[in-house]
């Protein structure tokens, strides 16, 4: 297999970078070049919500240099992504347009969950991740704009939370304070410790975090003070804290001299030190792992995985199902009925392959909707569909894009509420996504109606299409009068969507 040369451009809140990789099935992904320019784009955004003309000129000049490097390497492909801070840029459409006109580089602005998923792939695709074991793992991805904490247990993702306390934001909030670490740390602790103690009470009361995985600047450099091999090393948290504590009371120049980074003078190193220390202490973890990867490696892995150039050793879809189940459990909405509903929905989806034209990804979305269909009842029985929608749309599941989360939320909403006309939803869905919502909601409605009593009365279900009828043959030992009585009121969307009328045929087992 030929070697593919790939470029990853990342426009962050304080740095613009280009990494060049080679991708080969037998050798994996290898970095062959890395160029970065310090550029505090985030400061413009946090202070005024706009990127000014001077900063635009500097950005496009840098990207033109990057384009020359890409051409020099004769890359087979490249991808450019902007960080989360770009979502808050009020003139982002104009900035992106100018970047494309001046540089010919299309830049993508991803939602937080999409951007974190790409970083996340650079971690879970490594063999070392699986070797961390089945104990509690917290992957902490720290950037200039924000940070993300994703919890794993027994090798599967449970929950993820977004914190708007990135290093650049913290620096902006505390500017004017003497920037020696010991003084800065006292101010930061009031912000960080409070947030993470609240997080622990809400999400980690029954969890034991054995390993914290840090993704962020300078982490590898701190690890290097303990281990000569600086990437992919697991060390005891006590050693990591001992190294970090050495930097307290030192100024920026002294810190970089100690790290042997003589050409750097970045004030952001201080909030990174404090964040690493505070998070390690609050979590009370045994071990620290620093894989030495970031969003750029994730962009390369995403490219390779999408084109099946590499195989991922980690089951990403299992993570999505696991996270959905954990979210349902937090709202006391996971039960035997949930499993029955998911199985029935899968069966109907597979039987209707020739009628819906959907694929494996849409089946996964249907399964997530089935798992989360009752979460809103925790808030309000009367307004459960609307509450379910709000919970889902505001709960990140790493691996689902923003539009996929919107589809899940709408499928759950229209499981019981009348589906709206497309004209009323065009502001949030394309016509293709709207059709997916209708097709999946129709399946979920029928599946739910077959277990209306939540007693799992069906022992065996067989499905078949006969002319205009969708025959549902049920074997049961119980009376299904309730299900049959309410069934007809739940099938109109199905019939309108697929042109088939669901019909129940019962076989009683005695």
Say if residue 10 is in the same domain as residue 60.
yes
pLDDT at 297 over 80: yes
The per-residue pLDDT for range 137-176, each reduced to its tens digit, is: 999 999 988 999 999 999 899 999 999 889 988 887 777 6
Domain boundary (79, 110, 141) is at 110
| pLDDT reading at 246 higher than 90 | no
Whether the per-residue pLDDT at 40 is higher than 70: the answer is: yes
pLDDT for 180 beyond 60: no
Residue with tokens 């499981």: 415
CB 463 within 8 A of CB 504: no
On whether both 81 and 134 belong to a single domain, the answer is: no
User: Quick one: 430 and 494 in the same domain?
Assistant: yes
Higher pLDDT, 185 or 226: 226
Give residue 250's pLDDT. Answer: 81
Pick from 64-73, 200-209, 393-402 the range whose average pLDDT is largest.
Answer: 64-73
Mean pLDDT, residues 246-256 taken together = 83
pLDDT class for 42, splitting at 50, 70, 90? confident
Total structural domains within the chain: 3
Residues 132 and 223 grouped into a single domain: yes
Shared domain for 89 and 211, answered yes or no, is: no
pLDDT digits 0-9 by tens, 366-394: 999 999 999 999 999 999 999 999 999 99
247 vs 73, higher pLDDT: 73
- Domain check: are 36 and 76 in the same one? yes
Question: Are 248 and 131 contained in the same domain?
Answer: yes
Burial 415-437 (b: 16+ CB within 10 A, else e): bbeebeeeeebeeebeeebbbbb
pLDDT band at 264 (very low <50, low <70, confident <90, very high): low
Tokens 């304080």 belong to 14
**48 and 93 share a domain?**
yes
Domain end marker among 54, 75, 110: 110
Burial of 161 (0-12, 13-18, 19+ CB in 10 A): middle
Tell me: do 180 and 285 sit in the same domain.
yes
Q: Is the pLDDT of residue 177 over 90?
A: no
Domain finish residue from 277, 292, 307: 292
Together in a domain, 332 and 262: no
User: Minimal CA–CA distance to 440: which of 345, 308, 375?
Assistant: 345
> How much is the pTM?
0.90
Distances (CA, A) of 158 to 151, 203, 286, 468: 6, 10, 20, 43
- Rounded Cα–Cα distance for residues 425 and 410 (Å): 10
**Cβ neighbours, 10 Å, residue 343:** 17
At 145 the pLDDT is 87
In a domain, 466, yes or no: yes
Range of the domain at 55: 4-110
Share of the chain above pLDDT 70, in %: 93
Query: In the predicted model, is pLDDT for residue 412 greater than 90?
Result: yes
Q: What is the CATH number of the domain that holds 279?
A: 3.30.420.150
Residue 146's alpha-carbon distances to 26, 175, 329, in angstroms, are: 36, 17, 27
Average pLDDT score, the chain? 90
């Amino acid at each position: 297999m030929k070697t593919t040369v790939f470029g990853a451009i990342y426009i962050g809140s304080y740095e613009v970078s280009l990494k060049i990789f080679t991708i080969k099935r037998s050798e994996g992904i290898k970095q062959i070049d890395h160029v970065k320019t310090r550029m505090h784009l985030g400061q413009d955004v946090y202070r005024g919500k706009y990127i000014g003309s001077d900063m635009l000129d500097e950005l496009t000049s840098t990207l033109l240099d990057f384009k020359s490097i890409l051409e020099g390497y004769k890359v087979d492909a490249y991808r450019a992504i902007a960080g989360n801070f770009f979502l808050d840029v009020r003139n982002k459409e104009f900035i992106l347009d100018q970047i494309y006109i001046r540089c010919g580089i299309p830049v993508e602005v991803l939602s937080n969950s999409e951007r974190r998923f790409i970083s996340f792939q650079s971690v879970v695709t490594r063999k070392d991740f699986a070797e961390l074991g089945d104990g509690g793992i917290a992957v902490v991805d720290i950037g200039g704009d924000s940070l993300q904490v994703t919890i794993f247990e027994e090798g599967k993702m449970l929950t993820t939370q977004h914190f708007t306390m990135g290093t650049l934001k913290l620096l902006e909030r505390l500017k004017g304070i003497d920037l020696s670490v010991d003084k800065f740390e006292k101010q930061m602790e009031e912000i960080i410790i409070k947030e993470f103690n609240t997080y622990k009470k809400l999400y980690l009361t029954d969890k034991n975090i054995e390993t914290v995985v840090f993704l962020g600047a300078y982490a590898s450099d701190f690890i290097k003070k303990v281990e000569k091999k600086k990437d992919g090393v697991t060390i005891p948290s006590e050693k990591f804290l001992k190294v970090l504590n050495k930097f307290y009371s030192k100024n920026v120049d002294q810190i970089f001299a100690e790290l042997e980074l003589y050409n750097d003078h970045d004030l952001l190193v201080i909030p990174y030190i404090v964040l690493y220390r505070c998070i390690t202490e609050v979590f009370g973890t045994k071990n620290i792992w620093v894989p030495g990867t970031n969003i750029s490696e994730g962009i390369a892995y995403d490219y390779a995985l999408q084109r099946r150039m590499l195989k991922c050793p980690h089951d990403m879809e299992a993570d999505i199902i696991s996270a959905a189940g954990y979210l349902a459990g937090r709202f006391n909405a996971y039960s035997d009925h949930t499993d029955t509903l998911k199985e029935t929905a899968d069966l109907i989806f597979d039987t209707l392959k020739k009628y819906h034209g959907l694929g494996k990804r849409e089946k996964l979305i249907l399964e997530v909707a089935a798992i989360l269909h009752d979460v809103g009842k925790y808030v309000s029985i009367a307004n459960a569909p609307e509450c379910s929608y709000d919970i889902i749309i505001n709960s990140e599941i790493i691996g689902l894009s923003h539009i996929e989360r919107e589809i899940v939320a709408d499928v759950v909403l229209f499981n019981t509420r009348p589906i709206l006309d497309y004209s009323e939803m065009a502001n949030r869905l394309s016509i293709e996504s709207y059709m997916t919502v209708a097709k999946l909601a129709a399946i979920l409605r029928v599946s739910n109606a077959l277990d209306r009593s939540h007693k799992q009365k069906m022992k065996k279900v067989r499905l078949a299409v006969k002319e205009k009828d969708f025959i549902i043959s049920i074997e049961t030992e119980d009376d299904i009068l309730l299900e049959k009585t309410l069934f007809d009121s739940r099938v109109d969307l199905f019939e309108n969507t697929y042109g088939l009328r669901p019909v129940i045929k019962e076989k009683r087992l005695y």
